[in-house]
Amino acid sequence: MIQERNVRGPTPLGDVHGGRSSVGVVNRRLVPVVQQLALPLDAKPNSAAVERPVDVVLAAIIVALIAFGVVMVYSASAVQATLHMHDPQFFLKRQAAYAVVGLCLFFLIGAADYHRLYKLTYPVLGGVGILLLLCVVGLGHTGGGATRWLALGPVHVQPAEMSKLALVCWLSYSLAKKAEKVKTFTVGFLPHLLVAGLFMVLCMKQPDFGSSVVLLLLTFTMLFVAGAKVGYILGASILGGVFGVLAIMSSEYRRFRLLAWMNMEAHRADIAYQPFQSVVSFGSGGTWGLGVGKGLQTLYLPEAHNDFIAAIIGEELGFVGILALCIVYLALVARGVRAAFRAPDDYGSYLAFGISTMFGVQAVLNLCVALAILPTKGLTLPFLSFGGSSLLVNAAAAGILLNVSRQGMDQPAEEPETPETPDVELAPAEEPAEPGEHEESVAEALSDLDGAASKRVRPPVRVLDEEAV
């Protein structure tokens, strides 16, 4: 927390202002603006947190998801890789490399103090905005009818994935800095909505409707948690819904995709082919699935290793496998919310809650699309779908979450030292008195009482006359 302190001391200027020192005023004028923007109000580095243990449950969930993702990417992509790349392990090798880098990134960021991130808030936010703009102006790589990637040699970067984490970091910083001003419209609500809206417009221009929805949900959720007025959020939600309807109706391919989703049986051979085959995958898996590597829908489902990898999991592991996957994601979100409640400051709380929301929202939307509950949106399943940008961004976000949970953990209480019992010498027990001596002592005590009663002076008794009475 940055506080303006009015320092008083022996200074010649102090007498000019009637005894009040002007050092505090001078200090406030000399504090650079960059320093004011460098720290959230209550975020303070904690060097002692390095010695604290990590959240083993959270770390195990992330490692298990990444490893499981590598296995399922290979199972879902072996047929397509053989037909198109002439190498059944083409996607496996790439995903395994991304997984190794992602795990290193996860543990490195998890070991670093998350309070150092706020100094990178604006550079990261501006850099991601520039990358999104480059995709829009025509420098991006086009694939699947959308320009969502930037080609950096053999590596394709997807700025839309980075924008989610960048927005969460900036919202956490801004909300922690503004504190009670979050309840105001001009300071606490409108600036956050404008920045999120700018990122959403850049994603819509690619076009990437799904990422725009995720950014909007992240913004509203974090504003609600920070204490923004519900009326502002409801009003903005209605306005966002109106813009969403206009965006769908104004775009021909979005309108056709929505109509095909509403009538999948009639369009299962054209526009609704992918979601229809995804539903078939879930149905063919049954309760226990066909077994890993034994699914047949990889022959028919396009891009099965990307956005629709959940359909292959449902076919090969069945309903039980999908249920277990949902439980794992629920546990991941629960550990993140737990870290948010136990964070040492508001900045850490907002970071943990925003990252947990990001994981949960993307998982729910992806599963809903794979089950044809929602129209196709092009969102990845966190840690499982093929792609370096998604996996590395999610691994970095999980590392931040791990560090927040690490700093919020209570240190093990030291066992109090048991004081040594002092040696107490017991007095030797007295010999019991003989029966005759006990009776004589009682008799003497009774005689003493009788003597004292006889010597007591009694007050004179006044006898009243019966007639007087």
Would you state the pLDDT for residue 282? 95
Tens digits of residue pLDDT in 311-344: 999 999 999 999 999 999 999 999 999 999 999 9
Can you give the length of the chain in residues? 469
Residues 6+ apart with CB under 8 A from 46: 113, 115, 344, 407
Would you state the pLDDT for residue 362? 96
What's the Cα-to-Cα distance from 97 to each of 8, 174, 202, 384, rounded to whole Å?
59, 35, 30, 14
User: Can the peptide bond before residue 207 be classed as cis, meaning omega within 30 degrees of 0?
Assistant: yes
Would you state the pLDDT for residue 207? 86
Q: How far apart are the first and last CA of the chain?
A: 91
Would you state the pLDDT for residue 45? 67
The percentage of the chain sitting over the pLDDT mark of 70, rounded to a whole number, equals 76
Rounded Cα distance between 139 and 208, Å, is 16
Would you state the pLDDT for residue 8? 36
Tens digits of residue pLDDT in 402-430: 999 998 755 444 445 555 555 555 555 45
Would you state the pLDDT for residue 269? 87
Rounded Cα distance between 221 and 126, Å, is 22
Residues 6+ apart with CB under 8 A from 242: none
Burial of 319 (0-12, 13-18, 19+ CB in 10 A): middle
Would you state the pLDDT for residue 417? 53
Averages of pLDDT over runs of 10 residues in the chain (469 residues) are 38 39 41 44 61 88 97 94 91 95 95 89 94 87 78 83 96 92 92 95 90 95 94 93 90 87 88 92 93 91 91 96 97 96 93 96 96 90 94 96 84 50 51 52 56 48 41
**Paired tokens of 457:** 């002076």
Which residue type is seen at 71?
Answer: V
Rounded Cα distance between 417 and 337, Å, is 36
Contact (Cβ atoms closer than 8 angstroms) between residue 135 and residue 424: no
Tens digits of residue pLDDT in 255-300: 888 988 998 888 888 889 999 999 999 999 999 999 999 999 998 9
